[in-house]
């Protein structure tokens, strides 16, 4: 599996590395740029279109993988590692689900691209995200959560939770895209955490998908970290949020010998982006502002209000996300002993709670500092 992971990463990374300068050049030529504004931290026009490179890179990586898989199935050269041939049957079994995922991804990407060009209303974006989520769920991609034992009502609850989760995570990563390298970096970190869990639990299709995302996003970060030379735009941030939400739905987080609380793993991994989104929405409601109108109430903005520079604020949020991710990974290393498992889980969830308390203090301090100014 290590060989497959390495090749997938290299194809995704190199493809994005080649595409980004090309997309940037075209974007500047056609004036497809993000202009400075009151709610933005950059001071001059920045090329958009990074999401195009990320989308094309992931498409090319998976198309290449399917073509190579078919050729290997036909020829089966003996000089390749046996693990590749062990992995091949699972590739073809997953093609129907892969088709559904990429149809939804294409719709989300086009939605984001239209928003980058035409500036769609928040309600329009939300409506189409819900439609895409319904399409995905209708084609069999939804949470299990042991609800199948409750008949029709269980199916309805499962479908509703899945739609809500996809929309929530997709928008959380979209809202993160307000500072150089933030959304891309958080995407790489969360995908890496899920990759570790996928490899540990033997979910190799999901692992391959995650490594394709990681390779593409890391290559993009070379051009996107402060000072950014290109932005991913909504086409990229919505796409990454969609992919991560879908992959967490496909995941089987609970497997023996782990306990049932392992199903809460995705909440731990993406707790920082989701918590930041919830706090921002609450602030807008309290201040009687439209909840879908952008502002500078995000954690990164608050850290800057405390005196941090952009890269330092972004790196701090990276570290907070890594801490949350490591806590999630620890769930899979608890002792099989039931009582010790419960104690360990309580400590892990307590640690996440304290981490969110730290985020709350930073948010509050940033708001006070800004008001004082």
Give the range of the structural domain holding residue 203, as residue numbers without chain letter.
Answer: 1-252
Residues 222 and 356 in one domain: no
Residues 66 and 162 in one domain: yes
Is pLDDT at 238 greater than 90 in this prediction? yes
Residues 14 and 103 in one domain: yes
Alpha-carbon gap, residue 69 to 89, rounded angstroms: 9
What is the reported pLDDT for 70?
Answer: 78
Is pLDDT at 373 greater than 60 in this prediction? no
Pairing of strands 33-34, 46-47: antiparallel
Higher pLDDT, residue 335 or 45:
45
Residues 196 and 274 in one domain: no
What is the reported pLDDT for 255?
Answer: 58
Token digits of residue 280 = 């921002």
Higher pLDDT, residue 232 or 202:
232
Residues 246 and 116 in one domain: yes
Q: Which of 52-56, 204-208, 221-225, 227-231 has the lowest mean pLDDT?
A: 204-208
Alpha-carbon gap, residue 109 to 106, rounded angstroms: 5
Structural domain count of the chain:
2
Residues 121 and 22 in one domain: yes
Domain boundary among 219, 234, 252: 252
Q: Which residues contact 61 (CB under 8 A, 6 or more apart)?
A: 8, 11, 12, 15, 212, 215, 216
Alpha-carbon gap, residue 320 to 245, rounded angstroms: 20
Domain boundary among 229, 252, 275: 252
Residues 39 and 159 in one domain: yes
Taking the model in full, what pTM does it have?
Answer: 0.90
Percent of the chain exceeding pLDDT 90 equals 47
Is pLDDT at 361 greater than 80 in this prediction? yes
Residues 156 and 115 in one domain: yes
Domain boundary among 252, 279, 301: 252
What is the reported pLDDT for 57?
Answer: 96
What is the reported pLDDT for 93?
Answer: 79
Residues 244 and 322 in one domain: no
Alpha-carbon gap, residue 369 to 366, rounded angstroms: 5
Residues 214 and 245 in one domain: yes
What is the reported pLDDT for 192?
Answer: 96
User: Are the C-beta atoms of 215 and 11 separated by less than 8 Å?
Assistant: yes
Categorize the per-residue pLDDT at 345 as very low, low, confident or very high, splitting at 50, 70 and 90.
confident
Is pLDDT at 234 greater than 70 in this prediction? yes
Residues 188 and 279 in one domain: no
Q: Which of 55-69, 99-113, 209-223, 332-346 has the lowest mean pLDDT?
A: 332-346
Handedness of CA 51, 127, 173, 332 (dihedral sign): negative
Q: Which residues contact 166 (CB under 8 A, 6 or more apart)?
A: 129, 132, 133, 136, 242, 245, 246, 249
Alpha-carbon gap, residue 33 to 155, rounded angstroms: 44
Higher pLDDT, residue 364 or 186:
186
Residues 230 and 368 in one domain: no
Q: What is the 3-state secondary structure (H, E, C) of the chain?
A: CHHHHHHHHHHHHHHHHHHHHHHHHHHHHCCCEECCCCCCCCCCCEECCHHHHHHHHHHHHHHHHHHHHHHHHHHCCCCCCHHHHHHHHHHHHCHHHHHHHHHHHHHHHHHHHHHHHHCCCHHHHHHHHHHHHHHHHHCCCCCCCCHHHHHHHHHHHHHHHHHHHHHHHHHHHHHCCCCCCHHHHHHHHHHHHHHHHHHHCCCHHHHHHHHHHHHHHHHHHHHHCCCCCECCHHHHHHHHHHHHHHHHHHCCCCCCCCCHHHHHHHHHHCHHHHHHHHHHHHHHHHCCCCCCCCCCCCHHHHHHHCCCCHHHHHHHHHHHHHHHHHHHHHHHHCCCCHHHHHHHHHHHHHHHHHHHHHHHHHHHHHHHHHHHC
How confident is the model over 73-118, as pLDDT tens digits? 777 777 666 666 667 766 777 888 999 999 999 999 999 999 999 8
């Amino acid at each position: 599996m290590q060989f497959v992971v390495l090749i997938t990463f290299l194809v995704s990374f190199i493809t994005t590395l080649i595409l980004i300068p090309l997309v940037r050049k075209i974007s500047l030529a056609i004036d497809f740029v993000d202009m400075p504004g009151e709610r933005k931290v950059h001071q001059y026009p920045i090329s958009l279109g990074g999401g195009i490179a990320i989308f094309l890179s992931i498409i090319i990586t998976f198309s290449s993988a399917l073509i190579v898989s078919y050729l290997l199935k036909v020829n089966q050269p003996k000089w390749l590692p046996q693990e590749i041939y062990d992995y091949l049957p699972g590739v073809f079994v997953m093609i129907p689900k892969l088709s559904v995922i990429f149809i939804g991804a294409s719709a989300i990407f086009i939605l984001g691209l239209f928003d980058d060009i035409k500036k769609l209303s928040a309600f329009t974006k939300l409506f189409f995200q819900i439609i895409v989520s319904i399409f995905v769920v209708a084609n069999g991609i939804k949470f299990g959560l042991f609800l199948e034992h409750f008949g029709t009502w269980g199916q309805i609850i499962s479908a509703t939770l899945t739609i809500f989760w996809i929309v929530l995570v997709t928008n959380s990563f979209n809202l993160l895209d307000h500072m150089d390298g933030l959304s891309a970096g958080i995407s790489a970190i969360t995908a890496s955490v899920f990759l570790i869990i996928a490899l540990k639990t033997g979910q190799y299709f999901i692992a391959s998908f995650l490594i394709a995302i990681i390779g593409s996003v890391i290559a993009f970060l070379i051009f996107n970290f402060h000072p950014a030379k290109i932005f991913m735009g909504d086409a990229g941030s919505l796409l990454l949020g969609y992919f991560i939400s879908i992959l967490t739905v496909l995941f089987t987080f609970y497997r023996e010998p782990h306990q049932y609380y392992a199903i809460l793993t995705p909440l731990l991994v993406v707790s920082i982006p989701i918590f930041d989104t919830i706090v921002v929405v609450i602030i807008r409601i309290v201040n009687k502002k439209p909840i879908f109108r952008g502002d500078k109430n995000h954690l990164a903005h608050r850290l800057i209000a405390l005196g941090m520079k952009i890269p330092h604020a972004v790196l701090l949020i990276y570290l907070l996300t890594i801490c949350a991710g490591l806590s999630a990974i620890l769930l899979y290393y608890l002792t099989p002993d039931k009582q010790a498992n419960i104690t360990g889980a309580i400590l892990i969830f307590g640690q996440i709670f304290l981490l969110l308390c730290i985020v709350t203090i930073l948010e509050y301090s940033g708001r006070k500092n800004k008001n004082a100014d």
